[in-house]
Amino acid sequence: MLAFLAKRMLAVIPVMAIVAVVVFLLLRLSPGDPALVIAGDNADPEAVQRIRVALGLDQPLVTQFWVWLRHMLSGDLGTSIFSKLPVTDLILQRAEPTLSLALATMVFAIGVAIPLGTIAGATAGSWLDRSLMAVSVVGFSLPAFVLGYCMIYVFALQLGWAPVQGFTSISKGFLPFLHSIALPALTLGLAYMVLIARITRASVLEMMGEDFIRTARAKGVVERLVVTHHALRNAAIPILTIIGIGVALLISGVVVIETVFNIPGIGRLVVDAILKRDYPVIQGVILLFSAVYVLINLAIDVGYAFLDPRVRY
């Protein structure tokens, strides 16, 4: 087990290295010169050149990469070209809303999806199952920004249950925090929830036909335990896989939802940075998102081994 863990952790290194190279090249090779942007429309060529030197943009690409990589490894993500603040600080400032949104969304989506999907799978063909699946089609085909504005219209403007936009820090109390995060989390989580629910339903349904379900019933196990202890437990691996894959959905959703609900999070930070070609910020955020994605999927890989004793690496 320890050997497997160590091996899996080591495998993260090349993945992250490739991500680093791609992130670096993507921005350097994309059109548009940050020195020009910084210097403004009327700058003379010499001023632009001075800015280039100051940013190290006159160095060969490889040198730039090494310098950048050394900084990354020492935890220095660089300095924003515009705000002159360290990127690490910028991200940390914005981390709370995004982290809150992501966590609330996952708790909501997983917490609702697994029970619903399990019930639907165990009672396949019932009215409950059919209505769940019908709702899920709608939930999955509705884009988050459309859904977001609909939610704002119904729950914030018409019913007045939630604020229209903005974010209240948890330091100002849990309930106001929850109040501000509920609508965005619901909006962001719907597609994720539907995805997990459908996979849960399909996997549980498949497991309900297995021989060991019949054995459990023959032992006199109550149906509730037959479903949870036997069917759901065996369905855990595909469910976990989809939760991991869905994190990508979540990350891209965060960017949209933070804009719709005007939440000052990392998603907004990166959108603003892209518009201004603020390279260090873009790189920092992409690296962070990639690391989160890779680490969550690492955790899920390790989770397989705990969930299924046949999985040994």
Q: Which residues bind another protein (CB under 8 A)?
A: 3-4, 7, 210-212, 214-223, 225, 229-230, 233-234, 236, 307-310, 313
Question: Nearer Cβ to another protein, position 80 or 203?
Answer: 203
Rounded to the nearest angstrom, the gap between the alpha carbon of residue 240 and the centroid of all alpha carbons in its chain is 15
Q: Which residues contact 51 (CB under 8 A, 6 or more apart)?
A: 35, 38, 39
Question: Nearer Cβ to another protein, position 2 or 62?
Answer: 2
CA distance 84 to 87: 9
> CA distances (Å), 152 to each of 163, 176, 190, in order?
8, 17, 15
> CA distances (Å), 255 to each of 227, 267, 268, 269, in order?
38, 4, 6, 9
Question: Nearer Cβ to another protein, position 176 or 209?
Answer: 209
Q: Which residues contact 188 (CB under 8 A, 6 or more apart)?
A: 101, 105, 144, 250, 253, 254, 257
**C-beta of 237: minimal distance to another protein in Å?**
9
> CA distances (Å), 8 to each of 13, 19, 53, 240, in order?
9, 17, 41, 17
**C-beta of 263: minimal distance to another protein in Å?**
40
**C-beta of 219: minimal distance to another protein in Å?**
4
**C-beta of 220: minimal distance to another protein in Å?**
3
**C-beta of 259: minimal distance to another protein in Å?**
43
Question: Nearer Cβ to another protein, position 5 or 291?
Answer: 5
**C-beta of 303: minimal distance to another protein in Å?**
13
Positive or negative, the CA dihedral 18, 23, 29, 30 is positive
**C-beta of 216: minimal distance to another protein in Å?**
7
- Rounded (10°) CA dihedral 33, 37, 38, 42: 120
Q: Phi, psi (5° rounding) for residue 79? A: -120, 140
| Encoded tokens for 299 | 């955790």
Question: Nearer Cβ to another protein, position 226 or 281?
Answer: 226
Positive or negative, the CA dihedral 291, 294, 297, 301 is negative
CA distance 192 to 250: 7
Question: Nearer Cβ to another protein, position 165 or 241?
Answer: 241
Question: Nearer Cβ to another protein, position 185 or 199?
Answer: 199
**C-beta of 115: minimal distance to another protein in Å?**
20
Question: Nearer Cβ to another protein, position 237 or 292?
Answer: 237
